[in-house]
């Protein structure tokens, strides 16, 4: 769509969105790594 080879002709009646759920434990040995992954996901999908 960015290079105009494909054109969007209709958005539809109801907007479609995907919901991503991220589960984690309250106490983990990898809290720094989990926080890094959470930050990457938030930055990518906002």
pLDDT, tens only, 3-46: 768 888 888 888 778 787 888 888 889 999 999 999 998 898 77
Are the beta carbons of 24 and 34 closer than 8 angstroms?
yes
Would you state the pLDDT for residue 17? 80
Would you state the pLDDT for residue 10? 82
Are the beta carbons of 34 and 28 closer than 8 angstroms?
yes
**Other CB atoms closer than 10 Å to residue 41's CB: what's the count?**
12
Would you state the pLDDT for residue 1? 57
Would you state the pLDDT for residue 39? 93
Residue 24, phi-psi category: left (phi > 0), alpha (psi -120 to 50), beta (remainder): beta
Cα–Cα dist 40/33, whole Å: 11
Would you state the pLDDT for residue 15? 79
**Whole-model pTM?**
0.52
């Amino acid at each position: 769509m960015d290079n105009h080879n494909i054109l969007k002709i209709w958005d539809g009646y109801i907007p479609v969105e995907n919901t991503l759920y991220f589960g984690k434990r309250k106490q983990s040995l990898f809290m720094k790594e989990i926080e890094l992954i959470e930050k990457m996901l938030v930055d990518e999908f906002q």
